[in-house]
C-alpha cells in the first residue's frame, strides 16, 4: 500500500506539469483554433525566467571584510550581493533564497507579453491556414526560441534550488497513519502539486464566473455570432493567448527545482502534452486536466521496478499505448467535443 501511495504522489507530480501545459495548449486551440507546437518553448522560457531572476538577485560586488587581511597584508575581500545593500543582509538573504517563488511575479508580465507578441506577430497570419501549416511554423518558432536560450544560457542544465524551507522531505506516511519514514516525499513536489491545483482552479473560475470568461467561452462556441453582437472577440482571444502563455510559463517557473532548466526541456514536454490534449479531447479544458493527471499516474506506476522487470521499457511507451487504446474506443478523446478537427 505504501508503494501504491508513493506512485500516486509521483503521478500527481508529473500530472501537474502535463495538466498545466495541456491546459494552455487547449486554451489556445479552443479559442483560436491554432495547433501551437511552440507551447513547450513557453514552458522552457518560464523556467529560464526563474534562472534569470535568480542570477539578477545574486549579482554581487567585492567589499572589504572588517578586521581581516590576506597573506599580503591587504584587506580581505568577499563578494556581497547587491540585494544585501538594497534590502539589508537578513532580508537580502531571504529574497535570494526565495528567488523561484518570486519569479512568478517576474514571469507573469514577461510571458503575457511574449504570448501577445507571438500571437499578433505570427500566429494571426495562420488562423485560416491548414493545421499542418500551423504545426510547421510553430514548431520552427520553438526551435528558434530553443536555440536562443542555448546561445545565452549554454547547453548544460542550470540548478535552481527551491527555498531552504522546502528543501527537505515530508513524512507523508505518518500523516495518514503509516509508520514513520514509510512514505517520504519531497516538500517542493507537494508544493508544485498544490500550485498546479490553484492555477487550474483559477483558470476555470476565470472562464466560468467572470464576464470576460463568459464572452470567451461564447466565442469558443460561436465566434461569428459573438462578433455580430459588437464584441471585439479577436482582442479577447489575443489576451487569452497571453494568459495561456503565462500558464505555461508559471508551470516552468515552479518546475525548476524539480528538473534543472535546460534548453531542450520544452521539447521534452511538448510531445507528451499534445498526447495529453488528444487523449483528453481536442478543445476540452476539463479533458486536458483529467488526462494530464491520469497519464501522469499511469506513467508513474509503469516506472515501478516490479513492472519494468516484467515488461522492460513499458515506462517509455505507456502513455502512447494508453492514447492508442482510448482513441480506438473514443476517437474524440475522453471529453472531446463533436466537430473539433473532424472537417
- Weakest mean pLDDT among 62-66, 207-211, 277-281: 62-66
- E strand or H helix that includes residue 339: none
Residue the block writes with cell 597573506: 71
Q: Which set of grid coordinates corresponds to residue 272?
A: 507528451
Q: Take residue 59 and report the three cell numbers written for it.
A: 549579482
CB 65 within 8 A of CB 52: no
The rounded distance, in Å, linking the Cα atoms of 20 and 196 is 7
212-227, pLDDT tens digit by residue? 888 888 877 777 788 7
Pairwise CA distance, residues 276 & 263, whole Å:
22
| Angstrom distance (rounded) from CA 52 to CA 107 | 10
Decide if pLDDT at 342 tops 60.
no
319: which 3 cell numbers? 502513455
User: For position 199, what pLDDT does the model report?
Assistant: 93
Each residue of 39-75: pLDDT tens digit? 889 999 999 999 999 999 988 888 877 777 766 667 7
In angstroms, rounded to a whole number, what is the distance separating the alpha carbons of residues 161 and 188?
A: 10
- Taking CA atoms, 210 is separated from 103, 174, 192, 204, 213, in Å, by 27, 41, 26, 10, 5
Instruction: Decide: pTM greater than 0.85.
Output: yes
Task: For 234-253, give the DSSP string.
Answer: HHHHHHHHHHHHHHHHHHHH
Residue 21 to residue 271: CA distance in whole angstroms:
11
d(CA 58, CA 319): 40
Q: Is the dihedral of CA 248, 250, 254, 260 positive or negative?
A: positive
In this prediction, residue 123 carries a pLDDT of 85
pLDDT band at 168 (very low <50, low <70, confident <90, very high): confident
User: Which of the two residues, 63 and 106, has the higher pLDDT score?
Assistant: 106
The predicted-structure confidence for 236-258, as pLDDT tens digits, reads as follows 888 888 999 999 999 999 999 99
**pLDDT band, very low/low/confident/very high, at 9 (cuts 50, 70, 90):** confident
Q: Residue 77: name the closest of 91, 67, 63 by CA.
A: 63
CA distance 255 to 215: 32
Amino acid at each position: 500500500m505504501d508503494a501504491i501511495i508513493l506512485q500516486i504522489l509521483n503521478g500527481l507530480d508529473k500530472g501537474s506539469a502535463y495538466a498545466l501545459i495541456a491546459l494552455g495548449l487547449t486554451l489556445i486551440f479552443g479559442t483560436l483554433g491554432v495547433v501551437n507546437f511552440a507551447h513547450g518553448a513557453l514552458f522552457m522560457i518560464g523556467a529560464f525566467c526563474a534562472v534569470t531572476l535568480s542570477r539578477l538577485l545574486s549579482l554581487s560586488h567585492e567589499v572589504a571584510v572588517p578586521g581581516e587581511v590576506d597573506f599580503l597584508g591587504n584587506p580581505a575581500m568577499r563578494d556581497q550581493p547587491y540585494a544585501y545593500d538594497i534590502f539589508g543582509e537578513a532580508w537580502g538573504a531571504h529574497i535570494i533564497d526565495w528567488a523561484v517563488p518570486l519569479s512568478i511575479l517576474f514571469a507573469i508580465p514577461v510571458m503575457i507579453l511574449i504570448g501577445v507578441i507571438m500571437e499578433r506577430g505570427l500566429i494571426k497570419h495562420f488562423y485560416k491556414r491548414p493545421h499542418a501549416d500551423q504545426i510547421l511554423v510553430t514548431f520552427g518558432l520553438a526551435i528558434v526560441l530553443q536555440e536562443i536560450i542555448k546561445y545565452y544560457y549554454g547547453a548544460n542544465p542550470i540548478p535552481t534550488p527551491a527555498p531552504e524551507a522546502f528543501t527537505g522531505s515530508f513524512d507523508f506516511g505518518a500523516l495518514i497513519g503509516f509508520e514513520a519514514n514509510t512514505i517520504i516525499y519531497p516538500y517542493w513536489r507537494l508544493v508544485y502539486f498544490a500550485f498546479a491545483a490553484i492555477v487550474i482552479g483559477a483558470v476555470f473560475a476565470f472562464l466560468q464566473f467572470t464576464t470576460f470568461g463568459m464572452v470567451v467561452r461564447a466565442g469558443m462556441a460561436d465566434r461569428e455570432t459573438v462578433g455580430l453582437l459588437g464584441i471585439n472577440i479577436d482582442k479577447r482571444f489575443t489576451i487569452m493567448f497571453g494568459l495561456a502563455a503565462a500558464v505555461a510559463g508559471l508551470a516552468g517557473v515552479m518546475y525548476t527545482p524539480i528538473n534543472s532548466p535546460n534548453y531542450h526541456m520544452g521539447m521534452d514536454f511538448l510531445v507528451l502534452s499534445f498526447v495529453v490534449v488528444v487523449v483528453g479531447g481536442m478543445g476540452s479544458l476539463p479533458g486536458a486536466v483529467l488526462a494530464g493527471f491520469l497519464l501522469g499516474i499511469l506513467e508513474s506506476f509503469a516506472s515501478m521496478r516490479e513492472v519494468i522487470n516484467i515488461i522492460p521499457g513499458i515506462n517509455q511507451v505507456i502513455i502512447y499505448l494508453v492514447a492508442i487504446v482510448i482513441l480506438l474506443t473514443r476517437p474524440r478523446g475522453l471529453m472531446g467535443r463533436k466537430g473539433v478537427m473532424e472537417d
